[in-house]
């Protein structure tokens, strides 16, 4: 980044070694003001607002990329923000009070909790989650407890079942 100083960085949320939202936050911390556009297969209802809060200037679904990628890139490069009509509508409803701001269910999870839930759903053991996220196993357990509380889940087995179903739904299985 420092060497090439790109005008625009296009980021996928699914990366082999790091969560795309964390990469986005890192880019903004190390290179403030860098224009980032997220291009992802992940549901914009779940990740669009999260990406914008993390510093992205736009979010586009891969399925819409063929029709909208150039438009999105031009809008971001000209100083604007690009989101689909769906995300724009949700955000306007929230701002105007037509949609309650209090998040519930999956929407109430922090980015890190969502990352932990995803790994649980993919069968990643706690110790490995801790290593991948560079946190302690106790912190992973704290995240699990918060996830259970926010989702109204009372035991670990139910959390695993919920996480597996959620991952499968996102993957279209």
Give pTM, 2 decimals: 0.71
Structure tokens at 171: 């993957």
DSSP, collapsed to helix, strand or coil, labels residue 107 as: helix
Average pLDDT of the segment spanning 7-30: 90
**Starting at the edge strand that comes first in sequence, how are the strands of the sheet with 9-11 ordered?**
9-11, 36-40, 58-61
| Angstrom distances, CA of residue 161 to CA of 13, 123, 148, 164, 165 | 24, 10, 12, 5, 6
Average pLDDT of the segment spanning 157-163: 93
pLDDT at 101: 52
pLDDT at 88: 87
H helical segments located in 78-155 = 85-95, 111-121, 126-133, 137-151
What is the per-residue pLDDT across 81-109, written as a single tens digit (0 to 9) for each? Answer: 999 888 888 888 877 877 655 556 888 89
Question: In angstroms, rounded to a whole number, what is the distance separating the alpha carbons of residues 91 and 82?
Answer: 13
Radius of gyration of the chain, Cα coordinates, nearest whole angstrom? 17
Q: Is the pLDDT of residue 11 over 90?
A: yes
pLDDT at 123: 94
Domains of the chain by start residue, with CATH: 9-95 (3.40.50.2300), 105-171 (1.10.10.10)
Q: Tell which wins on pLDDT, 163 or 102.
A: 163
What is the per-residue pLDDT across 42-63, written as a single tens digit (0 to 9) for each? Answer: 888 888 989 999 999 999 998 8
Q: Is the pLDDT of residue 15 over 70?
A: yes
Length, in residues, of the chain? 173
* Beta bridge partner(s), residue 38: 11, 59
* Beta bridge partner(s), residue 10: 37
**With pLDDT > 70 as the criterion, what percentage of the chain qualifies?**
95
């Amino acid at each position: 980044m420092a060497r090439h100083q790109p005008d625009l960085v296009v980021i996928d949320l699914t990366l082999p070694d790091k969560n795309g939202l964390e990469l986005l936050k890192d880019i903004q911390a190390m290179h403030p003001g860098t224009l980032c556009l997220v291009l992802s297969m992940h549901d914009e209802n779940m990740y669009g607002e999260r990406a914008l809060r993390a510093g992205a200037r736009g979010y586009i679904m891969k399925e819409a990329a063929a029709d909208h990628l150039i438009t999105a890139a031009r809008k971001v490069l000209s100083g604007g923000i690009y989101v689909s009509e769906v995300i724009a509508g949700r955000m306007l409803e929230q701002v105007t009070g037509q949609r309650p701001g209090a998040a519930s269910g999956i929407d109430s999870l922090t980015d890190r909790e969502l990352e932990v839930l995803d790994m649980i759903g993919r069968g990643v053991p706690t110790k490995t989650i801790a290593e991948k996220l560079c946190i302690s196993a106790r912190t992973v357990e704290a995240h699990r407890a918060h996830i259970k509380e926010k989702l109204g889940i009372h035991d670990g087995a139910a959390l695993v079942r919920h996480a597996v179903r959620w991952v499968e739904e996102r993957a279209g299985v």
